[in-house]
Structure 1
Amino acid sequence: MENIYVDNAGTTPMASEVIDVMDEMMKNVFGNASAVNAFGRKARQVLDNSRHIIAQSINAQNDNEIIFTSGGTESDNTAIIKTALKRQKQGRHLITTAIEHEAVLKPMEYLESLGFEVTYLPVDQNGLISLNDLKAALREDTILVSVMSGNNEVGSHQPIHEIGEIVAESNAWFHTDSVQAYGILDVDVQKDHIDLLSTSAHKLNGPKFLGFLYERNGLNLGPYLRGGDQELKRRAGTENIPAIAGFAKAVEIAQAHKHEWQKQDMTLKLHLLAGLKEAGIDFEVNGKCNEDELPQIVNIWFKGCPNDALLTNLDLSGIAAAAGSACTAGSLEPSHVLLAMYGDSPRVHESLRFSFGRYNTEAEIKKVVEVTAKAVKRLKEKAGR
């Protein structure tokens, strides 16, 4: 049985080039980057070079605006909780959206338990916030606005530039969770007035358990994890040099092929939708499906077909898709993203996410269409629909 992976929004396979770099580092650059001996200096050079590559990828003004973390979750928690605690004398109001990743929503809930007030902006059926809603929600005591760049379930791409301009005119700082967008879309923290930005390496064919937080010069959040003086005293813990070097390689590859892969992903998405339509499947796309959205993600409502049963059928046939975020896949709760977009609609329980990556082919998508169409028809016949 051929196994086909179309769950790249959950994680991506590591690129062979990244594996080669990490293998070389593990063999030959094992020193502690904080050590003053020759082994430490060699590790420090790799760390500095990697930081420079990544800083340039988002147009950071200074390499030291990049803080390496364990991934998107730590970066989001650091940006949100540290901002709130640092700026609470200036205000205790934060703004986010109803469709953020749990790594943003859970810290917001935590801050609410400490007495902070959070406004959750609604979204329309395309998964987009209203800029007028944002303007109306901003107050003198608003200290942070956190809006994700691209949604991990439906692929909606928020108007980050316009949001940044609005927030820049206020007292608030602007944070964006760019875990799904980074490496796929162009990111420019200067042009978009971004103060804090979170990423994760494993979403762009890099290693797991690694990411970075961009922190604009002058914010001075201080460490979230306390201990040693690593990362210029902003994040304690010995730096994972092999993984950081691998991350930098993944970023270099993504920067070189980003626009090529955007077109490839959009082509695969359109082939999937066209194939399902040709097969006579009754479906709708959740959100929009155009070049304004993340090209690698499509979320489809298979009308009258329970997503848990369909997902199981696909898995047994060798197709790896998803019913929502991989981080909440073990939960029986419906997708909070689809609930925010459509309310308590049948599509909340009848939708699957397909997400593409650099290693997917048109032949694979043809097979996905074939297997999915058969599974949908079989399940609907069983249900007498």
Structure 2
Amino acid sequence: MIYLDNSATTKPDTQVLQSFQQVSERFFANPSSIHQLGGEAEKLLQRSKEQAAQLMRVRPDELVFTAGGTEGNNLAIKGISLEHRKRGGHIITTQVEHPSVYEAFNSLEQLGFTVTYLPVDETGVVSVDELQKAITDDTILISVIHVNNEIGSIQPVEQIGEIAKQHPKLFFHVDHVQGMGKVPLDLGDSGIDLCTISGHKLHGLKGTGILYVREGTTLFPLFHGGGQEQSRRSGTENLAGVVSMVKALRLMKERETAGIRHMSELQTLIRQKLSAMDGIFINTPEQAAPHIMNISVPGLKPEVLIHILGEQGIYISTKSACSSKQTDESKILAACGHSGERSTSALRISLSYDTTKTEIDTFLRELEKAIKQLKAVLE
């Protein structure tokens, strides 16, 4: 099997699975229970938060354990907007966000908020100047994805953070789900108030995630109940999931430098080989995250190519797994100004630290063969 759909989800690390099972068996008590077993679970929960904070170089009380990227993004966006509505009703995002951000903004529009959806250039990147111009006295939130989940473009979040610092009335949220472990981001003194990561993008388990909430930032919670996670996310904690998430984060950090270099080398190889193939357009910009390569093969249905490769045990995808079964057109590529023919024929290849050159060579050979076969049938 050659798995090249790591932006959709990654294969859980064996050590992560082991930690989940061990905690499920030994620390099954509710951390809120006052008996000894509950106390042990609570201590493990606190230790996990301290370890995660150390790895992310933030304070433990600035982290909220969530069920993943979608919840983290919704908690950040809706939590800020609803909590600080009296400050203003204007919020800003981009036209190339993940569905969990884009749809959250759409829902807030229905509640009366005014939303600015910033356009992007042909590489999928927003203009910092245009963003700065969009800020008004009524603006309370900016939310920008760090690494685009479809084409890998990197947004200038550090520059946006500096702008956000100049406007103490507003908050800045970054969707870092695709960036963690691929494009490092330092949260300290960054101007970033909220930052979302997801466990299953890091060889962790689905249903796990972390939302960073800078000290002093207040949120209207999505869940009300027992007051867990400093009342920011009520509900009995998924302790086994938390421990496994932190384990995945630690394992990723240990391999991060070498892993990024390895994926960058593979991405360069893929770009060189694909550039030499007829009828293929590369949509991922030169300056992009190392793990994503997006291409279009106009005239061919992407799902047919995916199924042909799947029969050979090679797995790639079209766009975001959260939207791949909806309309054929990629909203991201359309926002970049690409034609309908190109934005409806996109394929996404996404790597991990464990992807090998041999796997890439095999994939490229089989892709070229599949394209030739399909074109021969259509002629």
TM range (shorter): over 0.9
Distance 1:377 1:24 in 2: 50
Cα distance in 2 for partners of 1:257, 1:68 equals 23
Identity %: 35
**Which residue among 305, 318, 322 is the counterpart of 2:317?**
322
Distance 2:104 2:207 in 1: 19
Question: Using a 3 Å threshold, how does the CA distance of structure 1 residues 361 and 89 change in structure 2: closer, same or farther?
Answer: same
Aligned residue in 2 for 1:143: 140
Are residue 4 (structure 1) and residue 6 (structure 2) matched?
no
> Equivalents in 2 of 1:183, 1:19: separation in Å?
19
C-alpha separation in 1, matches of 2:75 and 2:57: 21
Count of residue pairs brought into register by the alignment: 378
Q: Counterpart in 2 of 1:80?
A: 77
Counterpart of 1:208? 206
Identify the residue that residue 154 of structure 1 maps to in structure 2.
151
SS in 1 for 2:195: strand
Q: Does 1:41 align with 2:39?
A: yes
Instruction: Give me the whole-angstrom Cα distance separating, in 2, the residues matched to 1:375 and 1:281.
Output: 13
Which of 253, 259, 273 matches 2:257? 259
State the 1:315 CA deviation: 1.8
- Note the C-alpha offset of 1:342: 2.0
Q: What's the offset of the Cα at 1:329? A: 1.4
Give runs of aligned pairs for residues 275-294 of structure 1, distance below 5 A: 275-277=273-275, 280-290=277-287, 293-294=288-289
TM superposition score normalised by structure 2: 0.96
Whether 2:52 is the aligned partner of 1:24: answer no
Cα 1:193–1:254 change in 2 (3 A) is: same
Determine the C-alpha separation between the residues in 2 that align with 1:75 and 1:18: 21
Deviations 1:253-292 (A, max 9, x none): 11111111101111222222333345x33322213134xx
2:239 pairs with 1:241? yes
Deviation at 1:56, TM superposition (A): 2.3
Does the alignment pair 1:189 with 2:178? Answer: no
1:107 aligns with 2:104: yes
2:62 alignment partner AA: E
1:119 corresponds, among 113, 116, 121, to 116
Cα displacement string for residues 195-229 of structure 1 (whole angstroms, at most 9, x for unaligned residues): 01111100000010111111111122142111112
Deviation, structure 1 residue 302: 2.2
Structure-2 separation of matches of 1:59 and 1:160: 18
Which stretch shifts more, 354-363 or 184-193? Answer: 184-193
Within the candidate set 125, 128, 133, 2:130 is matched to: 133
Contact 2:66 2:233 in 1 (8 A): yes
Q: Which amino acid aligns with 1:142?
A: T
Q: How many Å apart are 1:187 and its aligned residue?
A: 2.2
Could you tell me how far apart the structure 2 residues matched to 1:77 and 1:336 are? 20
Counterpart CA distance in 2 for 1:54 and 1:317 is: 39
Determine the structure 1 residue equivalent to 2:326.
331
1:58-97 equivalences in 2 (<5 Å): 58-60=56-58, 62-97=59-94
CA distance in 2, matches of 1:144, 1:312: 41
SS at match of 2:207: coil
Once the two structures are overlaid, the 10-residue window that deviates more, 105-114 or 313-322, is 313-322
Residues 208-217 or 280-289, more deviating? 280-289
DSSP 3-state at the match of 1:247: helix
Matched position secondary structure for 2:322 = helix
The answer as to whether partners of 1:12 and 1:204 remain within 8 angstroms in 2 is yes
> Secondary structure of the residue that 2:140 maps to in structure 1?
strand
Aligned mates of 1:246, 1:111 — CA distance in 2: 33
Aligned equivalent of 1:175: 173
**What is the distance in 2 between the residues matched to 1:351 and 1:333?**
9
SS of structure 2 residue aligned to 1:199: strand
* CA–CA separation in structure 1 for the residues paired with 2:367 and 2:207: 32
> Which residue of the partner structure matches residue 365 of structure 1?
360
- Equivalent residues of 1:281, 1:376 under 8 A apart: no
Q: 2:317–2:349: 8 Å Cα contact kept in structure 1?
A: yes
Aligned mates of 2:304, 2:344 — CA distance in 1: 10
RMSD: 1.4
Partner residue, 2:216: 218
Q: Please name the residue that 2:347 is paired with.
A: 352
Q: CA deviation at 1:343?
A: 4.2
**Residues 283/219 of structure 1: CA separation in 2 closer, same or farther (3 Å cut):** same
Match of 1:227 in 2: 225
What one-letter code is carried by the residue in structure 1 that aligns with 2:311? L
SS at match of 2:151: coil
Stretch of structure 1 that moved more, 139-148 or 42-51: 42-51
One-letter code aligned to 2:326: S
Q: Deviations over 1:109-157 (max 9, x none)?
A: 1110111100000011111000111011010100000001111000011
Give the unaligned 5+ runs of structure 2: none
Residues 303 and 343 from structure 1, CA distance in 2 versus in 1: closer, same or farther, beyond 3 angstroms?
A: closer
